[in-house]
Amino acid sequence: MLRVDGLSHRFGNRAVLSDLSFALDKGGFAFLTGPSGSGKTTLLRILHGSLPLQTGRALVAGHDLAALRPSKLYQLRRDVSVVFQDFKILPERTVVENVALPLTVRGTPKARIERRVASILTALRLTELAHRPCAELAGGEQQRVAIARAVVAGPRLMLADEPTGNLDWELSLRLLDILRQFSAHGTAILMATHNRALVAAAPDAMVITLGGGEADPGGFDVGQAAAPDAAAEATP
């Protein structure tokens, strides 16, 4: 589903990622951690085709980024979705309109759109809000809309960039549970976070730690997240 070998990336003279290698199978769930500036967002942008692959190799949902022409990026993005920290939903449109958008732009038949959207809204407990403008929703509700839009087309891989950064601890745990459910149904998920307590809440997940412009020794560890030492660390 996702395999990265020897990936490095520089902005001018500054190395942001250096010789990074890891793999994530179908239905796998991995946290991407590290301090600000360690390259978490840069890596996600590369995997989504928003930044070029400079050095190394990346196979993303069956697409070889080194061989993928810009004119074919739409093929990658049909298989790979992104959930952003700032949601990027359309506030003036309703929940249904936002969630249906990826299917609408693909020309999916209306009846299939209606069935698929209804199913996703039910799964994320958004049915009662279906016809509300997103501008009227609370932050946690907007984040669920963003996730619904990201999964409605059945992506093979989801990239989540600090999706709990604007949420309180209870909503963060709820969001983590939702993402884990989609992972259990076959969608591989790579979730960037700085929150050690959230990582500790899923001890069976893979942890990929970036730091100082390169992957930490070992590249990634499975289930090695430490529990927080203080209650304050449990707040995103």
Residue type, 115: R
Nearest CA to 163 out of 195, 120, 135 is that of 195
Residue 62: CB atoms within 10 Å: 12
Query: By the 8 A CB rule, do 147 and 88 touch?
Result: no
Say how far residue 18 (Cα) sits from the centre of its chain: 21
Kindly report, residue by residue over 131-177, the tens digit of the pLDDT.
999 999 998 899 899 999 999 999 999 999 998 887 889 888 988 99
- In tens digits, the chain (236 residues) has pLDDT values of 899 999 999 999 999 999 999 999 999 999 999 988 899 999 999 999 999 999 999 999 999 999 999 999 999 999 999 998 788 899 999 999 999 999 999 999 999 999 999 999 998 889 999 999 999 999 889 989 999 999 999 999 999 999 888 788 988 898 899 899 999 999 999 999 989 999 999 999 999 999 754 443 333 332 222 222 322 232 22
Among residues of the chain, what percentage have pLDDT more than 90? 71
Q: Three-class SS of residue 191? A: strand
pTM score:
0.83
The domains located in the chain, with CATH, are 2-88+156-234 (3.40.50.300)
Instruction: Give me the pLDDT at residue 22, please.
Output: 97
Burial of 1 (0-12, 13-18, 19+ CB in 10 A): buried
